Structure 1
């Protein structure tokens, strides 16, 4: 259990800054396409469809398609059921965390309404526990209840759905490593109370992904997330800061 100074928790951690640097590279991921085809589908807004990328070249190809369990106990395949051709915002947390987790979870809650308003009900929020041996579905359900969520499949009008996931330690670890939440210092990496305070977000349909640190204000985070998740010019650019 973390004993971080609350003022320190509000600042992006070392891992967050590493993630931001990686995210700046990931933010430049734009789908490459194969030669034209008459049957070629397109994503909304005529953005190239990631199905035409070479096998293994999509960002999501690195995400393990492991079986995890939602806060209601339902088994889901991470990629097939939650990420494939979807717009997603992911982060890690655990129920007993009293460091950055409350702030990151509240930030996700604050993004649910504007993301749903801008992108519709197809966007999904995903929180994965870093303590799967302790955080079973019932524990995650109680945690989700703090945000008024009773069941991931019971939609809350005007709010993006939010999935809290647990699984075997090996499967959770595989996802954590694949998403780049590993610290180069093995001592820090082994301490979940010092885990990376980051958001990973992407549009699997267009193969656009990015990473931002927790600690930005809602407007800043929303602008960065929509820049990657949006499929139209208005969605991607309408929230960028305007010169005064």
Structure 2
């Protein structure tokens, strides 16, 4: 039994009996300590030394983190697929609407009545192109019941005025051009050069009228004429006022002309000043017939 230490009257330590309550408390604490030590020895605590949680650790819902991440990823992929599907459907609807509108418009055009002039040739995409049908070998002729010619007067490259009255007595070929034209006019004047060479020294003349008179002054036309070897008496180059030339082309030679705009036709005028016909110079057969007509007129003069 544990005893306390006391102090007697003589100053010497004397043994003093311990309190019963204190003795019981100490024995209880000692028992608890021994039990706790035994528990630690038998069941040591497991310490998680990893700095982060494992991906296979469980969440509060009982799922692993890997399962949770997989579910979130699937949800985002599903939302993305839904958005792409909406865009694809919108594109399909737009294409379908355009296709339906095109079919309706085509059907309405096919059902609409088309008035085709008698003798006209109509070309469509519903049949293969017939090359022979597109070829035009015959020159057009002016109506016999209309007076096509009236007087006109223009300035030749020499600076002198030349009128339609001055040109009577000999057949002549009329063309429209402008000197700065880079392609068509050059080819056209080369055709006139061939005619000049073939009928050199004979009675036919060639009259080239500019549709850009502001640029094509007599000085410019003189230089331009030398490029094609134009004879000053047989091949005339004419200029004047643009508005007046528009009227000459439309009212006399029945050809639409404007500034730097003209047709690809030659007008053949006989010795009496009457238009015999219009010949498309890019058509080889029409050029052959133009030559035949010129020869016929020259033969009639002899």
TM-score range, shorter chain: 0.5 to 0.7
Paired residue secondary structure (2:205)? strand
Paired with 2:296 and 2:217, the residues of 1 have a C-alpha distance of: 35
Of the three residues 146, 152, 155, the one matched with 1:66 is 152
Q: CA deviation at 1:100?
A: 1.1
Q: Is the 8 A contact 1:111 1:222 kept in 2?
A: no
Larger Rg: 2
Q: Is the 8 A contact 2:211 2:259 kept in 1?
A: no
Trace 1:56-135 onto structure 2 (pairs within 5 A).
Answer: 62-77=148-163, 79-82=164-167, 84-116=168-200, 121-135=202-216
Paired residue secondary structure (1:174)? helix
Q: CA deviation at 1:229?
A: 3.1
Q: Is the 8 A contact 1:92 1:127 kept in 2?
A: yes
Of the three residues 257, 276, 282, the one matched with 1:209 is 276
Trace 1:18-33 onto structure 2 (pairs within 5 A).
Answer: 23-26=139-142
More relative contact order, 1 or 2 (CA 8 Å, 6+ apart): 1
Of the three residues 210, 234, 237, the one matched with 1:164 is 237
Task: Provide the residue aligned with 1:40 in structure 2.
Answer: none
Of the three residues 224, 246, 257, the one matched with 1:143 is 224
Q: CA deviation at 1:205?
A: 3.3
Task: Provide the residue aligned with 1:225 in structure 2.
Answer: 290
Paired with 1:206 and 1:64, the residues of 2 have a C-alpha distance of: 9
| 1:192 maps onto 2:260 in alignment | yes
Paired residue secondary structure (2:140)? helix
Structure 1, gaps ≥5 residues long: 1-19, 30-56, 154-160, 183-188, 237-244
Paired with 1:132 and 1:191, the residues of 2 have a C-alpha distance of: 8
Q: How many residues align?
A: 164
Paired residue secondary structure (1:192)? coil
Of the three residues 160, 181, 188, the one matched with 2:255 is 181
Aligned CA-pair RMSD: 3.0
Task: Report Cα offsets for 1:1-22 as digits up to 9, x if no partner.
Answer: xxxxxxxxxxxxxxxxxxx799
Q: CA deviation at 1:221?
A: 4.5
Q: Is the 8 A contact 2:148 2:275 kept in 1?
A: no
Paired with 2:137 and 2:254, the residues of 1 have a C-alpha distance of: 11
Query: What TM-score, normalized by structure 2, do the two folds share?
Result: 0.48
Q: CA deviation at 1:207?
A: 4.4
Q: CA deviation at 1:94?
A: 0.2
Q: CA deviation at 1:171?
A: 2.0
Paired with 2:173 and 2:190, the residues of 1 have a C-alpha distance of: 14
Larger % of helix: which?
2
Query: What TM-score, normalized by structure 1, do the two folds share?
Result: 0.58
Q: CA deviation at 1:176?
A: 0.8
Task: Report Cα offsets for 1:28-69 as digits up to 9, x if no partner.
Answer: 96xxxxxxxxxxxxxxxxxxxxxxxxxxx6x7x533422211
Q: CA deviation at 1:177?
A: 0.5
Q: Is the 8 A contact 1:202 1:228 kept in 2?
A: no
